Structure formats: C-alpha cells, structure tokens
Amino acid sequence: MSGEFKTAIVRRPGPDFGTGLTTATGEPPDFEKALEQHRAYIEALARLGVDVVELDALSRFPDAYFVEDTAVVCETVAVVTRPGAEERRGEEESIEPVLARFRPIERIGSPGTVDGGDVLEVGDHFLIGVSDRTNEEGAGQLGEILSRHGKTWSAMAVGSGLHLKSSLAALDDETLLVTPEYVNRQELKAWEKVVVETGEEYAANTLAVNGTLLVPAGYPGVLRKLEARGFPLVVLDVSEARRMDGGLSCMSLRF
C-alpha cells in the first residue's frame, strides 16, 4: 500500500552539506536554515504518526542526509543499494545496521547501481527508473529481490531530472503526480495522473504519508490541484535541500 508508514529513518545534515553533489547554481545553501527545515520535516512526520529514527550527520558524506538513496524497504526486506555516484558510495554501509533492526537485509552488488530516489512504490508495484544513478543491472537485481518478496516491478528510463522521483510521486495506490514529460509514458498507463504545471516540476517530489501529502512550499498551482482533490496537505519549505538537488522524499527512508 502506498504511503502508509510506521517508521522513518532520517539523518541530520552536517555543516559540510553544501559541498555535496548538485547541478544547482546560485546562492550556496545555508546550514542553519537547512537544520531548521529538517527539524520541521521530522516534526511533520511525527505528527502524522510516524516513529522517526534520527541519525547523526555522517562525516565525509555531505549528501548522506538524503538517506532515501541508500535503501529500498518493503514489508519483508530492506535492500541496501549501491549508490550510483562514486562520491556517495559508503553511505549505504552505515545505514545497513540501522535497517537490520527492522528487516532482513539484501544488497545490490557490483556492477549494479541503484539510488532509492529512482524507486517508486505504488500499491504492490515498484517502478524502477534507469538513470545516470541506477543502471539496468541494478534495476534487474532489485526487481528480482522484490519479486521474491511478492512485489511486481517494471523498469523505465528516467528523462530529465536527477531521479525518477524528481518527476513522479504516488498520491495513493491509483494516482500519480507527474511532470508534463511523463503524462503520456506508456509505462504509466495503468495509473490516473495529476499533472504539475510547467515551471512547477520540482513539486512532483511530493510525499504521501499516512493519508496526508507533504508538498514543497512555493508551488501554488500544484497546491490548488491537490486541494481540489481533497487531499489533506502539509506545506514544507525545503529550499536548502533543493539547492543540493534533493527534496521531500530524499530525506527519509519510510516503511
């Protein structure tokens, strides 16, 4: 079932988080603001009934607070990934013992690479994006593991944006929020779609948590569309994560 969670693992950003990977140009991110926004994110999850496991910043890994990329978790397994960016390899080793408290562990092996940001769960189905970070080998390994755990999966090429979930979110089991680029994708024909407006693509990284949608601040068009559909909404400012190519889904591992 999409978006129903008991637990979330988060990791605080460290003072060096602005040295992580990014394609964004302009103002460098502000650490105090990032911490404040991260705190508000944790509080929002907690208010929605999620037990939040908070980890300390990981030294030498400025992107490690984007914990989503290090694993894919379903009811009966946690698959520890092999991140696609060399700079991030090693983050997964420190998440594994934490996940092992909750689920049996499986791993993506070389030469496979997977970033959790490329993996979208919709009902019992997993869409796996093949991107600059997730290769076909990694997608295949992940799909094989998920199949053994009763899930279906399909792979699809990621267009623009860093990850699949930069452009796609599951609002519920039947409905996807998509950027205009994804509206007519054959691989998504089974789902109803809400389309974010051109210029508001970033808001496609919306996060469904226990019946409520967490939506990034600053995208009024998306907000109106989601409100009109009757979804309860919580708007969160994630400006500093955005400067590092991250967003709402990236900052937690939920299960």
Q: Applying CB under 6 A, which part among 14-22, 38-46, 168-176, 225-233 lies near ligand CIR?
A: 14-22
Q: Report the residue number, 117 or 143, with the smaller CB distance to ligand CIR.
A: 117
Per CB under 6 A, 240 contacts ligand CIR:
no
Least distance in angstroms from the C-beta of 131 to ligand CIR: 10
Least distance in angstroms from the C-beta of 228 to ligand CIR: 27
Which backbone phi and psi does 162 adopt, to 5 degrees?
A: -65, -50
Q: What is the DSSP string of 43-95?
A: HHHHHTTPEEEEE---TT-TTTT-GGGGEEEETTEEEE---SSGGGTTHHHHH
Q: Are 169 and 135 in contact (CB under 8 A)?
A: no
Among 208, 250, 252, 255, binds ligand CIR (CB under 6 A): 250
Tokens of 31: 């650490």
Per CB under 6 A, 91 contacts ligand CIR:
no
Per CB under 6 A, 243 contacts ligand CIR:
no
Per CB under 6 A, 21 contacts ligand CIR:
yes
Beta carbons within 8 Å of 228's beta carbon, 6+ residues apart: none
Task: Count the neighbouring beta carbons within 10 Å of the beta carbon of residue 67.
Answer: 26
Residues lying near ligand CIR in the complex (CB under 6 A) are found at 20-22, 63, 66, 68-69, 85, 88, 116-117, 162-163, 165, 244-246, 249-250
